[in-house]
Amino acid sequence: MAYRVILIEKNKAMHDELNETLKKSPDFEVMATYSEVNAALGQSGMHNPSLFLVDVDDPEVVDMLPAFVDIYPGVMILGMLSTWNPDMAQRAVGYGILGCIKKPFRTSDILEAIEVYKKRGGTGAPYTIAFFSPKGRAGRTTLAALLALTLAKKTNESVALIDADLQFGDLPIFFDIEPQHTVVDAVHDLKMLMPVSLAPYFHVITKNVGLLSSPDRPEYAELVDAEGLLGLVQMAGHLFKYVFIDLPAGFNPLSVAVTNFADVNFVVAMINTGLEIEHVKRSMALFDMRKVQRNKCWPIFTRVNPCTPDKKMQLEMQLGYPIAEIFPNEYNLVSVANSGQILQGVPSDTLMMRTIDELAERIIRREL
């Protein structure tokens, strides 16, 4: 059945070109076209549309999108951009539309965009989580991988894993894969991409989890700057409902930019010598100095023994900050992850996996 389309485009030349393109395709039936968004909002109901194509180059039009979402529930809305504008696209998607495409378009572009954006699993703004640690070997990457798989399974929404540990990223090893594309490739090509054309850069781990790998040579890390990485993270949010960024250990321009942008930052440290409490305390103080909101930064400790509520309370008193979760020392599970068998052999009935499940629930409820 053909999509019943309402086209809203202010520029007359572009309006006519897009209208002609749609009319040539049996997949679309143009019910009405408008140059003014107010007229479209008030009159479109009589046409029983199934798809709106809305010019979102105009900020005033973008601000009208919540009204369309409210008045026409269940009707798909695609925003149209002359060039990729991450801020405008972010606002538009945050208001609940399906996604954005570039104009002028082919009708095959619309069909592909609908298919790709539906896989996201939900409308509204993405939820971005950065995984940061003061030092290496804290269990940060293991946590990101297991949490991504758990969250995708629980919500049936899509999760991106972006391996931004550009010199020593391990996520491909965890999943025993050899990705065709890396963060370096995506950042290099970003100015030529739209979200739909970015999608193939992600290696499909499961139906709802995609991985963008770190480069296979450490020197390639120099090819990615903070601006490029942030642009990539923003565009990934149009493909995935949750965007996880696994950062390198320590503060650097990339980690500073991403943690400022993220909705939540997990500051991960492994209890080993006792100095980790001090490392996390210093990290939290630096977040405070940079005026990162306190409710955006949550410490997490791994290899905690005993892993009990009393121990968590004790660590919080030592640290002076509330802790998101503490995780036990489970060598078997970590061994499975490090062997590349994380998809096949993770035991589910363990304290660590039960804690990850609880953490996923808190993320879903936006308690973090």
Which CATH number do you get for residue 79? 3.40.50.2300
**Same domain, yes or no: 87 and 176:** no
**Same domain, yes or no: 46 and 131:** no
**Same domain, yes or no: 332 and 238:** yes
- Around Cβ 317, how many Cβ atoms within 10 Å? 8
Q: How confident is the model at residue 154, as a pLDDT?
A: 95
- Give the model confidence (pLDDT) of 33-88 as tens digits: 999 999 999 999 999 999 999 999 988 899 999 999 999 999 999 999 999 999 99
Rg (CA), the chain: 22
Domain boundary among 81, 98, 118: 118
Mean pLDDT of 195-210: 96
**Same domain, yes or no: 183 and 90:** no
Range of the domain at 267: 127-364
**Same domain, yes or no: 31 and 155:** no
- β-sheet bridge partners, residue 79: 54, 100
Instruction: Decide: pTM greater than 0.85.
Output: yes
Measure the CA–CA gap between 166 and 156, rounded to whole angstroms.
29
Read off the tokens for 88: 């405008």
Q: How confident is the model at residue 217, as a pLDDT?
A: 87
Do residues 3 and 27 touch, judged by C-beta distance below 8 A?
yes
Check whether the bond before 104 is cis (ω within 30° of 0): yes
For residue 310, count CB atoms less than 10 angstroms from its CB and return exposed for 0-12, middle for 13-18, buried for 19 or more.
exposed
Can you list the positions of beta strands (E) in the chain? Answer: 3-8, 28-34, 51-55, 76-81, 99-102, 127-132, 159-163, 203-206, 209-212, 242-246, 264-270, 297-302, 325-326
**Same domain, yes or no: 322 and 178:** yes
**Same domain, yes or no: 157 and 177:** yes
How many structural domains is the chain composed of?
2
Query: Furthest-apart CA pair in the chain: how many Å?
Result: 69
% of residues, the chain, pLDDT over 70? 94
**Same domain, yes or no: 208 and 110:** no
**Same domain, yes or no: 229 and 113:** no
Do residues 233 and 184 touch, judged by C-beta distance below 8 A?
no
List the strands of the sheet with 209-212, edge to edge. 203-206, 209-212, 159-163, 242-246, 127-132, 264-270, 297-302, 325-326
Say yes or no to pLDDT of 313 above 80.
yes
**Same domain, yes or no: 16 and 95:** yes
Q: How confident is the model at residue 301, as a pLDDT?
A: 94
Here the CATH number for the domain that contains residue 336 is 3.40.50.300
Domain boundary among 118, 138, 164: 118
Do residues 23 and 17 touch, judged by C-beta distance below 8 A?
no
Mean pLDDT of 201-210: 96
For residue 118, count CB atoms less than 10 angstroms from its CB and return exposed for 0-12, middle for 13-18, buried for 19 or more.
exposed
Do residues 184 and 190 touch, judged by C-beta distance below 8 A?
no
Task: Please report which confidence band the pLDDT of residue 329 belongs to, taking 50, 70 and 90 as the band edges.
Answer: confident
| Average per-residue pLDDT for the chain | 92
Q: How confident is the model at residue 275, as a pLDDT?
A: 86
- Give the model confidence (pLDDT) of 78-130 as tens digits: 999 999 999 999 999 999 999 999 999 999 999 999 999 999 988 899 999 99
Domain boundary among 118, 145, 162: 118
**Same domain, yes or no: 136 and 110:** no
Provide the pairing of β-strand 209-212 with 203-206: antiparallel
Mean pLDDT of 321-336: 78
**Same domain, yes or no: 150 and 101:** no
Let me know the angle formed at the C-alpha of 225 by 223 and 228, rounded to the nearest 5 degrees: 100
The one-letter code for the residue type at 303 is: R
